[in-house]
Amino acid sequence: MKLAFSTLGVPGLPLPDVLRLATAHGYHGIELRTHPEEPVHPGLTLAERADVAAAFKAAGVEILGLAGYTRVAAPGDDGPVLAEIRTLLDLARDLGAPYVRVFPGGGEDGQSPEEADATAARRLGTAAEHAADRGVRILLETHDSHRTGAAAMRVLGLVGHRHVGALWDVMHTWLGGEQPSETFAALSPHLGYVQVKDIASADDTTPLPLGTGVLPLTECVEVLSRHGWDGWLCWEYEKRWYEAAAPLPGLLDAGRDHLARLLNESA
C-alpha cells in the first residue's frame, strides 16, 4: 500500500511546502482539499493547473485525489450539483488526479433515506459519463447521512458504474457501529482508497497522532492486507476544523512509521 496525507492537515500551506513535507517524510501522495482558500481549487487557469501538475511530477509525488464538498444526496435541483461535480472532474483531469471525492449530504428538509439514496444514485449515474470521458473516478465518502459501508452501498448498488466508487473514512464507519471486516466486505468491489485518522472518543473527534486514539486502524489494515488490497492509505488529519490540534508536520514521521508497522505486522 502507498501512503498519502491530506492538505486538510496543513490548511492554506503553499504547494511547494506541501510537496517538501511529502518528500521529506516519505509520503507517496497528497490528497488535495479543493477549497478556494487552498492553493489548488477549481478557479485555477489552465496554465496554473499545468504548473501544479508539473510541480508534483518534479517532486516525484502523486496527486491521490481532489477532496471536494459536493453533497450528492442533498435535496434540491440536480443542475447545480452536477455542474459542481463536472467542474471538479475537469480539474482532476487537468492535474492528472485519478479520484474526486464527494459527500452524501442527505437527510435534510424531511428527506427520507430512500429519497436520499435515489437522489444520490441519479446524480452519480449522470456524472459518471463525464467522469469516464475525463478518465477520473468519483468516490462517495462514508460520511454524514451515509457513514457506513452498508449505507454507501445502497447508493453505489443503484449506480453500477465503474467510474463511481467509494472512499472509506475509517472514523465514520466506526462511529456508525460497523466493524472493519463488514465495511470492507461492503465496499471492496468499489473501493478507491482509505482515509485513516485517530480520535480520542466518539464524543471528542479532535485529531490525534495515529495509533494514540480509539479508531481500529490495526483491524482496518489487517483486513485490507488479508484480502490483498494494495491501494492508498491517506491520513486525513483535520487540523482545519480543530485549531487546538497539534501541527501535522511534526507528526508526519511517527504517522508514517505507525502505518508502516501495521503493514509489516499484517503482511
pLDDT in tens, 6-19: 999 999 999 999 99
Fold of 2-266: TIM Barrel (3.20.20)
For range 2-31, the mean pLDDT: 97
Q: Report the share of the chain in percent with pLDDT over 70.
A: 100
pLDDT > 80? residue 217? yes
Distances (CA, A) of 5 to 2, 75, 151, 194, 247: 11, 32, 26, 11, 13
Which DSSP category does 247 fall into? P
Q: Alpha helices, DSSP H only, in 160-251?
A: 170-175, 180-187, 217-226
Burial class (CB in 10 A: 0-12, 13-18, 19+), 4: buried
For range 154-174, the mean pLDDT: 97
pLDDT digits (tens, 9 = 90+) for 229-248: 999 999 999 999 998 999 99
The partner residues of 193 in beta bridges, in order of sequence, read 167
pLDDT computed for residue 95 by the predictor: 98
Q: Are 4 and 255 in contact (CB under 8 A)?
A: no
pLDDT digits (tens, 9 = 90+) for 85-110: 999 999 999 999 999 999 999 999 89
For range 56-64, the mean pLDDT: 98
Strands 2-6 and 29-33, by their bridges, are parallel
Please count the other Cβ atoms lying within 10 Å of the Cβ belonging to residue 244. Answer: 6
Please count the other Cβ atoms lying within 10 Å of the Cβ belonging to residue 162. Answer: 12
What whole-number distance in Å separates Cα of residue 118 and Cα of residue 112? 10
Q: Report the share of the chain in percent with pLDDT over 90.
A: 97
pLDDT > 80? residue 267? no
The cell numbers describing 44, all together, are 485555477
pLDDT band for position 266 (cuts 50, 70, 90): confident
What is the distance, to the nearest Å, from the Cα of residue 250 to the centroid of all Cα atoms in its chain? 22
The partner residues of 66 in beta bridges, in order of sequence, read 32, 100
pLDDT band for position 216 (cuts 50, 70, 90): very high
pLDDT computed for residue 265 by the predictor: 87
For range 160-179, the mean pLDDT: 98
The cell numbers describing 250, all together, are 511534526
pLDDT > 80? residue 129? yes
Average pLDDT over all residues of the chain: 97
Identify the residue whose cell numbers are 471538479: 88
Amino acid at residue number 216 = P
Q: Are 85 and 92 in contact (CB under 8 A)?
A: no
238-243 contacts, C-beta under 8 A, 24 or more apart: 238/8, 238/9, 238/197, 238/205, 238/207, 239/8, 239/9, 239/10, 239/11, 239/207, 240/8, 240/9, 240/11, 240/33, 242/206, 242/207
The cell numbers describing 194, all together, are 482509505
Which DSSP category does 144 fall into? T
Instruction: Spell out the domain ranges in the chain.
Output: 2-266
- Spell out the residues 6+ positions from residue 37 whose beta carbon is closer than 8 angstroms to its own: 11, 12
